[in-house]
């Protein structure tokens, strides 16, 4: 999927330089961040489901 973002040119240049120092393209750094963000959401949902099972007396 392609996503278009609108950001300040200075921010993009600074982010591109930071990504380069990490050995990544800006595109890869953004993908990595989004994957991490999605993973955190998934973990939060799994934790909530586990809590609900515990509160309902059925630890799985």
Question: Which pLDDT tens digit goes with each residue over 36-48?
Answer: 888 877 788 888 8
Domain count, the chain: 1
Look up tokens 């930071």; give the residue: 18
Specify the pLDDT at position 59.
Answer: 57
Specify the pLDDT at position 32.
Answer: 93
For residue 14, tell me if it sits in a domain. yes
Mind listing the pLDDT tens digit for each residue in 10-59? Answer: 999 999 999 999 999 999 999 999 988 888 777 888 888 888 888 887 65
Question: How many angstroms from the chain centroid is the CA of residue 34?
Answer: 3
What is the domain extent for residue 49? 9-55
For residue 3, tell me if it sits in a domain. no
Cα separation of 28 and 26, whole Å? Answer: 5
Cα separation of 41 and 48, whole Å? Answer: 11
For residue 4, tell me if it sits in a domain. no
């Amino acid at each position: 999927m392609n996503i278009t973002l609108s950001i300040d040119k200075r921010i993009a240049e600074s982010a591109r330089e930071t990504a380069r120092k990490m050995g990544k393209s800006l595109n890869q750094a953004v993908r990595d961040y989004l994957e991490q963000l999605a993973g955190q959401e998934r973990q939060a949902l799994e934790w909530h489901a586990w809590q609900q099972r515990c509160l309902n007396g059925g630890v799985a």
